[in-house]
Structure 1
Amino acid sequence: MTVQRRVSLGLDIGGTNIDVALVDADDGSVSYYGKFSRHTYTVAEALKIEPVRRYVESARRVMLSTSRVLNTFLETKLPSTSLVLAPGPGLPPPRSLAEECIVIEGYVDPRGIVLEDVDVKEIVRALERKAMESIAIVTKFSIRNPILEQRILEAACRVMPRERIAVSHKIPFLDYRRRAATTVLTAKLKLVLHDLMRELGSWLKKLYLIKGDGGAQPLELAVENAALALGSSQASIVIGVQAVLGSVTGVIVDVGGTTIDVVPIASGESQLTTLHFRDADTYIVVPRFESIVAGGDCSIAVVDGRGRVVPRRAGVPAAFGGEQATVTDALNYALELSIGDHVRSRRVIRELARKHGVDPRDLAQGVVEDVVSKVVELVRKTGCCGPIIAAGYLGKHVAPLIAKECGVGCIVPEHYHVLNAIGAAATSFSLEVGIYYDGVDGKAVFTPSGRVIEAKKRFIDKGDILEMAREELIGIARRLDAEDLVGDIEVVHYDSFTVVKERVPQGMVAHCIIRAKPKAMIRVRR
């Protein structure tokens, strides 16, 4: 009898390379890995190359991490946004979160009761007048009752494609200012994931996206909270190190084509930090990291007679057929490496040196020293005194130099050059699920699904509330064919109170949020 082995396919889409890793979930072996230059292949083309195509077609799931969302956030002009806001009574509305803020009438009270409906026709007219490129929809207590946001969404879809519209009731937390900031960012970034969905259309049902907390969600679900994918690549590298090295403490130095990322970890885990947007907190968490534009594809120049890295991507290094000298070419020359066409690297370095009247070895060494000094500064900024952990296709060559300057050890893990893809393959399902239970009104509302059921008990134990939330989370994972990816479940928030009328308790109201905690589900065999 043949036993079918469980394999997980990880895919990391960076600015320069597409990394693929096939990991056996049963014995932890990495049975295949590959790296494809985005200068040569689109993502769809890379996935059609054998044996990758065969693995993708046979895989149950394809786990994807990407730096596209973060790069778009950092490097491009984001689409303009109309924030349609129904704040109700209370504090002034956060108008500064978007280019235009349309404050409308309409109110759901703290217990989810609609006290004032929205005017759909007026919303349509207001949106047509503003002519923004995306729309964010936020009502104050939408997680208690999403009906007003759903009506506003119907109106917004008359003037804007659905893929450019974000709603806040998919986020299970109550603070509507933080939900508003998160929703505006999602509206601005949704198109990045929709473009990726179009590019990978034939495999869409299998695709899971790694979020900034390190966990995975089906891409079709994750796109509704696209901003949560900020930090996807940094999170997957942490899970990759966790899968390969276990509970290690140190500083990951991930040397990519465009950037070098520095990520401190303790006992295999990163410190998650909350992203701020336009002076407001969001519900977006990303690993704490520092980054510098000094990767292998970056330009180099001669400044005051010394080689220096230019914080700008030049394109293809000369070692891989490009015309300009880059950091990769300087590494080839200074460290006497054989990356790509190292003869061509040496030629462009000599030509650049001749043009400026300097020694080519001094030029190349100057570039390397400049990169190392900049990264050392970032490492010291983290305050972590552990070893340097090499990652990325140039990590093996750069990390030891950084470790020497910092006076610490250096770890070059097996598969260091595809750790992002391994992390994607090894991670767990991640989802936050909320339940608002109102024993007085006799209803329970779940987020992010928006499902409403009858609350049969006026008073209910905390344990029963937590079990309802857990069953909802497991049910969502089961419907998404991801139940086997659910790891530890933790309680993120719980509060409750008793409604009293004329000194007589009427029932209990409770709000609970739980989370499937991200972690490495596979330990890679050394």
Structure 2
Amino acid sequence: MFTGLDIGGTNTDIAIIDSEIKTHKIPNTSGLSTALKKAGSSGRLVVSTSQPLNEILTGPQFNIRTITIPGPGLVYSGAIKGAVSHRGDIIEPIDTEEVKSLFKGPHPYAVAISGKFSVRNNSLEEQVCDVVSEYLDPEQIAVSSHIGALNFPARIKTTQINARIKPKVNALNNLIREVNADFFYVTSTGGLTSPDRALQNPSLLYHSSPATVANGAYYLTRNENCLVLDIGGTTTELIPIAHGKPIFEDVIIDGFKTLIKSVKTVSIPYGGDSCIRETLCPFRAGNARSFGGGEPTLTDALNVSGARIGDDDRSHVIDKKIADNIVEQYLITVSSAVKKFKPGIIIGTGYLAHYLLSEISERAKTTGIVPEHAGSANAVGAAVSRISILGYFHVDTEKKRMTMNGKEYPYYATSDDEELLAHAKNIIRDVARADGAPEEDVEDVMIQFFSSYEVVRGWKVAAKITDILLSIAPGISVEAA
């Protein structure tokens, strides 16, 4: 049995998939514990949440202290003594007293620790982490080696994001474990990760909702090339799918490149809970009146125009002409955005898809499909997703050293690239299996990057250096297909 739980801004959607699909919608005012108990503890539980994204977009601006270990001659904010060479050797130790001196004044909310070559040897980062742990709790400290990519400036920014949202992810872990100790999260690319791995690299959870909706829409319709139109409470997301998978892009935050990848979307700031104040506003002030709220919304305008959603009698506080104009404003905005994609098929998801997709697809001159369980497609997508792992390997034959994401693994002595690649694939498969992936889901390991060169010294080959980036790609679990 597969259970998906999507924590949205207004409701938490639940999808339970066994011999059939059952869905439930729980208002967030009832509390997450209520939704978790409704989901039950049988089978595999997967959680998708917008909380880390909301923390970045709307949360308070906490004091995040950045500690960098760039090495000699490099100038970065928060730099301290210590250095790891490009081959993973420690060429300068850290000064623990220097680290302690950073905490003589008021302590920060969290600390982000980034070493230039920590993905090849993470020992200096861990030593700094040990010192900082004397002043802060573990959930207030983020290190960069778990991110698993070399780009130092982007890794610093990503580690700062991790430090900011790690306390939120830790609190969520504890809350979910009170009801169900065995669960996974959906990542920003639509794969699954364990709660422990999410705590090491919280940015994995950034903006996971479009990924879950894409997986859910594909699972419910099996349309490999389409445009998913997800009508939520606060936004409407347009998500293109090609060959059964969404398209990924690098995330830029506050003008800085990060090492976060997420599903490519076009976001329109209107949804079912967008309130009406003379015109349709790009924000929500609570639930629609038909669901107990105080201000009229797009949902209420649909009711006044003839729909029957919730307690539709409460919606009739706005004039029908105004309601028709509000609905028209929404339809023009969305259909214009859809036309730019020139889709052959639109898959409508979200609670209001049944009421709006027909008109949108007609205006966009394309075919629209609203599958069964469209209102909980995000939870369906969470339930059926598979575990995804990203591993950056660095191998040095002279040092007899092999690391993945900064952690050392037993060295495998070979000069043959194919043998080394097969060994690295087996390591990442073992990591995925340890996280709970079934055998069928770890067969397909993608090679995202491979580079190998020889170090010549005294006219002889002294070493061979190899860098490999492997991933178990996100998608639908074979067990759920």
TM-score, normalised via structure 2 length: 0.95
Shift of 1:136: 0.8
Equivalent in the alignment of 1:254:
230
Measured in 2, the distance between the counterparts of 1:462 and 1:244 equals 41
Q: What percent identity do the matched residue pairs reach?
A: 30
Among 164, 179, 186, the residue aligned to 1:188: 164
Between the aligned partners of 2:268 and 2:60, the Cα distance in structure 1 is 19
Q: Structure 1 residue runs of 4+, over 4 Å off? A: 522-525
In 1, Cα distance between equivalents of 2:170 and 2:8:
17
Is 1:238 the counterpart of 2:214 in the alignment? yes
RMSD: 2.0
1:190 positional shift:
1.4
| Shift of residue 423, structure 1, vs aligned partner | 0.7
CA distance, structure 2, for counterparts of residue 489 and residue 203 of structure 1: 33
Aligned to 1:405: 363
Within a 5 Å distance, the mapping from 1:378-457 to structure 2 comes to: 378-381=337-340, 383-447=341-405, 450-455=407-412, 457=413
Distance 1:77 1:370, change over 3 A: farther
Offset at residue 523 of structure 1 (A): 9.2
Can you list the C-alpha shifts for 1:321-351, whole angstroms capped at 9, x where unaligned? 22221111111111x12211111222x33xx
Q: Does 1:80 align with 2:36?
A: no
Q: For the structure 1 residues 487 and 452, does the alpha-carbon distance in structure 2 shift closer, same or farther, using more than 3 Å as the test?
A: closer
1:264 CA displacement: 1.7
In the alignment, the residues of structure 2 paired with residue 477 and residue 447 of structure 1 have an alpha-carbon distance, to the nearest angstrom, of 14
Aligned to 1:57: 41
Counterpart of 1:361, as a letter, is K
Pick aligned residue for 1:44 from 16, 26, 33 = 33
Match of 1:296 among 268, 272, 279: 272
Other structure's SS at 1:234 match: helix
Q: In 1, distance between residues paired with 2:209 and 2:443?
A: 21
Mark the CA change 1:374 to 1:195 in structure 2 (over 3 Å): closer, same or farther.
farther
Q: Report the alpha carbon displacement of residue 204 of structure 1 after superposing the two structures with TM.
A: 5.1
Structure-2 separation of matches of 1:204 and 1:186? 24
TM-score by length of 1: 0.87
| Residue 462 of structure 2: aligned partner | 506
The answer to whether the 8 A contact 2:398-2:464 is kept is yes
**Corresponding residue number in structure 2 for 1:33:** 23
* Paired residue type of 2:307: L
Q: Following the alignment from structure 1 to structure 2, what is the Cα–Cα distance between the partners of residues 427 and 488? A: 15
Residue 340 in structure 1 maps to residue 310 in structure 2 = yes
Structure 2 counterpart of 1:354: none
Tell me which amino acid in the other structure corresponds to 2:380: I
The structure 2 residue matched to 1:515, chosen from 458, 471, 478, is 471
Tell me, what secondary structure is at the counterpart of 2:468? strand
- Separation of aligned partners in 2, 1:509 and 1:438: 5
Number of residues paired by the alignment? 480
In structure 2, relative to structure 1, the CA distance for the partners of 1:241 and 1:524 (3 Å cut) is farther
CA contact (8 A) 1:82 1:130 kept: no
Aligned to 2:11: 17
The aligned residue for residue 217 of structure 1 is 193
Cα shift at 1:267 = 2.7
Deviation at residue 19 of structure 1 after TM alignment: 0.8
Q: For residues 415 and 19 of structure 1, do their structure 2 counterparts lie closer, same or farther at Cα, with a shift above 3 Å needed?
A: same
Query: How far apart, in 2, do the equivalents of 1:291 and 1:283 lie?
Result: 21
**Higher mean C-alpha displacement, 70-79 vs 312-321:** 70-79
2:171 alignment partner, SS class:
helix
Match of residue 466 from structure 1 = 421
Any idea what the Cα deviations from partners look like across 1:126-168, whole Å, max 9, x if unmatched?
1444633221110111111111000011111122221121111
TM-aligned CA distance change 1:210 to 1:487, over 3 Å:
farther
Write the distance in 2 (CA, Å) between the matches of 1:242 and 1:487: 21
| Contact 1:262/1:379 (8 A) holds in 2 | yes
Pick the aligned partner of 1:368 from 316, 327, 336. 327
Q: CA deviation at 1:522?
A: 5.4
